[in-house]
Amino acid sequence: MTYMIIGIILFLATHSVRLFADGWRSRTIAAIGEPKWKGVYSLLSLAGFVLLVWGYGEARLAPMVLYNPPLFTRHIAGLLMLLSFILLAAANVPGNAIKAGIGHPMVAGVKVWAFAHLLANGTLADVLLFGSFLAWAIVNFVASRKRDRAAGVNYPRGDAKQLVLTIGAGTAMWVVFAFWLHRILIGVAPFG
């Protein structure tokens, strides 16, 4: 579990620099250039991700159960994950109404993803992993919205075609992941 905790800290710390040290971030980018900044950022993020995945995999071999969620929570988690995938799509489909309304749909999607997994899983590793990401996403979302308001950021309203495309893309990603990739990558079939 130690590797998972180190990975979570490294991954989330890397993704929190703008939240807690935006001035230092801006000065560093100005000093070393954006390509080098992105390279270092990417390497640290990847190292954190690898450590948390590896550590989580090891923790699953000897789980410490904190609570046993009722079976129906898996179904709720499945529906919440549909919403999470639609939010992920909204972050990447230009000109959609979801991004216009939420502003930061990817971070909102992480919140939903983490909450859904906390509902359906009850081991110590699950609580540490998904609870950390939920706390990070809440803080990040609030800070990002506050930064947008201070800067006067307005997102384009979007049109119906882009909204339908966003919902369709998110739903397609959810179907592929829920019924195929989750079992291959995570080793658990969400729906049986």
Instruction: Quick: pLDDT tens for 6-30.
Output: 999 999 999 999 989 989 999 999 9
- Does residue 180 share a domain with residue 160? yes
Domain that includes residue 24, residue range: 1-62
Q: What pLDDT shows up at residue 120?
A: 95
Asked whether 51 and 6 are in contact (CB, 8 A), the reply is yes
Joined together, the tokens standing for residue 131 give 């609870």
3-state helix vs strand vs coil in the chain, percent to 5: 80, 0, 20
- Does residue 174 share a domain with residue 106? yes
Q: What pLDDT shows up at residue 158?
A: 83
Nearest alpha carbon to residue 126 among 40, 45, 186: 186
- Domain final residue pick, 62, 80, 98: 62
- 157 vs 96: CA distance, rounded Å: 7
- Does residue 102 share a domain with residue 13? no
Nearest alpha carbon to residue 53 among 8, 106, 111: 8
pTM of the model: 0.91
- Does residue 135 share a domain with residue 55? no
- Does residue 158 share a domain with residue 72? yes
Q: What confidence tier does 102 reach under pLDDT thresholds 50, 70, 90?
A: very high
Flag whether pLDDT at 159 surpasses 90. Answer: no
Q: What confidence tier does 157 reach under pLDDT thresholds 50, 70, 90?
A: confident
- 110 vs 107: CA distance, rounded Å: 5
- Does residue 187 share a domain with residue 96? yes
Asked whether 48 and 132 are in contact (CB, 8 A), the reply is no
Asked whether 130 and 117 are in contact (CB, 8 A), the reply is yes
Flag whether pLDDT at 124 surpasses 90. Answer: yes
- Does residue 124 share a domain with residue 104? yes
Mean pLDDT computed over every residue of the chain: 94
Q: What pLDDT shows up at residue 116?
A: 98
- Does residue 144 share a domain with residue 99? yes
- Does residue 70 share a domain with residue 28? no
Q: What pLDDT shows up at residue 103?
A: 93
Burial 171-183 (b: 16+ CB within 10 A, else e): eebbeebbeeebe
Q: Which amino acid is at 9?
A: I
- Does residue 58 share a domain with residue 74? no
Overall average pLDDT of the 164-180 stretch: 96
157 to each of 48, 58, 89, 96, 100, how far by Cα in Å? 36, 45, 16, 7, 5
